[in-house]
């Protein structure tokens, strides 16, 4: 169905598109009388929704605030491609009777946990710097750049949802013997079953050899890893962030890395994305960076698009979404 066929309340606007195809969404939604319109990244979101009058928004990282919601009189649902909904004004959507849903259980929990471990290994084994050394003719660095190893080490997990639980399994398989968890939702029974220790955030920072971040971003967690908590960490510790960039005070982390107060860091997410070329972590030693790609595999993309489209379909069919996050 072409965009010119738009009738009020029949458009599904994809804000900040970036997938190779939207055939999956179209196959699910067009039989229900709706049509899918990817909105170009350089197009103003407000102008796009004025033009389309969408019944649903599919979003990745673009903010959906009260002002944007007010420009969508026929809007029924906003679905986030992924887990975090910190860029969506949940209260404003609830006030307008607009469902907000996410996709918390697509296959990326495997990919993100893999990526967390991969970043840790790349940092701890100095893979990136060793690669660069070999390419410029430096060989046999050996003990001039020590590698501590991880057998018997302690992994600390900030947040203990699906991804963190998968990460725990993989870190334990590597030889980590102790797992600390900071997450108020974890029960003592769950902790015993998984053989993890529930601790506060300061203890986690102080006692972990690797601190891996898996928490949502909200006002309570923004910069939860700040200069004070970074100072609590062991000099040989590694920080891994595959969750949200805003969890970390990035300049404070850069200072610690530059001053040798941390062994290294593996970072997949940034407070501003893409990060500017003069971002302080671009120049820090033993730091491995990736482009918010921990979630990605061909399988996870297909599953993510399918589940997001299914959530919109439920609402168009008169049902609440399965993963309804702003319930009233």
The string of DSSP letters for 117-129 reads HHHHHHHHTTHHH
263: number of Cβ within 10 Å: 23
Of 80, 168, 214, 244, which residue is the catalytic one?
A: 244
Cβ atoms of 253 and 246 closer than 8 Å:
no
- Of 93, 95, 116, whose CA–CA distance to 167 is shortest? 116
Q: Max alpha carbon distance in the chain (Å)?
A: 68
Question: For this structure, is 125 an active site residue?
Answer: no
Cβ atoms of 250 and 222 closer than 8 Å:
no
Put the strands of the sheet holding 238-241 in their side by side order: 197-198, 178-182, 154-158, 210-213, 238-241, 264-267, 287-289
Q: Which two tokens stand for residue 20?
A: 């190779």
Contacts of 143 (CB under 8 A, 6+ apart): none
Contacts of 79 (CB under 8 A, 6+ apart): 56, 57, 58, 59, 100, 101, 102, 103, 308, 311, 312, 321
DSSP E strands, the chain: 11-15, 35-38, 54-59, 77-80, 99-101, 154-158, 178-182, 197-198, 210-213, 238-241, 264-267, 287-289
100: number of Cβ within 10 Å: 26
Of 43, 145, 273, 322, which residue is the catalytic one?
A: 273
**Cis omega (within 30 of 0) for bond into 274:** yes
Please report where in the chains the tokens 């168009």 appear, as a residue: 316
Question: For this structure, is 244 an active site residue?
Answer: yes
Of 115, 168, 292, 314, which residue is the catalytic one?
A: 292
Question: For this structure, is 292 an active site residue?
Answer: yes
175: number of Cβ within 10 Å: 11
- Helix (H), strand (E) at residue 250: helix 250-258
Q: Which residues are catalytically annotated?
A: 244, 273, 292
């Amino acid at each position: 169905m072409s965009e010119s066929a738009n009738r009020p309340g029949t458009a599904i606007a994809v804000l900040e598109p970036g997938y190779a195809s939207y055939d999956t969404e179209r196959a699910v939604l067009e039989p229900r009388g709706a049509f899918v319109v990817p909105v170009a990244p350089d197009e103003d979101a407000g102008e796009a929704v004025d033009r389309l009058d969408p019944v649903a928004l599919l979003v990745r990282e673009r903010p959906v605030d009260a002002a944007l919601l007010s420009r969508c009189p026929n809007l029924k649902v906003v679905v986030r491609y992924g887990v975090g909904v910190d860029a969506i004004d949940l209260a404003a959507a609830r006030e307008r009777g607009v469902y907000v849903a996410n996709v918390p259980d697509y296959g990326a929990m495997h990919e993100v946990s893999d990526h967390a471990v991969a970043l840790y290994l790349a940092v701890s084994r100095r893979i990136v710097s060793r690669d660069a050394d070999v390419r410029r003719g430096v060989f046999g660095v050996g003990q001039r750049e020590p590698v501590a190893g991880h057998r018997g080490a302690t992994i600390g997990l900030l947040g203990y949802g699906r991804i963190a639980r998968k990460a725990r399994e993989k870190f334990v398989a590597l030889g980590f013997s102790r797992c600390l968890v900071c997450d108020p939702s974890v029960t003592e029974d769950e902790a015993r079953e998984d053989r993890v220790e529930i601790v506060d955030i300061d203890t986690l920072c102080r006692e972990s050899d690797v601190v891996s971040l898996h928490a949502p971003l909200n006002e309570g967690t923004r910069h939860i890893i700040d200069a004070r908590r970074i100072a609590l960490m062991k000099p040989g510790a590694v920080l891994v962030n595959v969750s949200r960039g805003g969890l970390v005070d990035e300049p404070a982390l850069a200072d610690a890395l530059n001053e040798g107060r941390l062994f290294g860091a593996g970072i997949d997410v940034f407070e501003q994305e893409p990060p500017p070329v003069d971002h302080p972590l671009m120049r820090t030693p033993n730091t491995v960076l990736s482009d918010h790609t921990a979630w990605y595999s061909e399988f996870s993309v297909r599953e993510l698009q399918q589940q997001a489209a299914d959530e919109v379909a439920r609402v168009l069919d008169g049902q609440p979404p399965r993963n309804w996050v702003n319930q009233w």
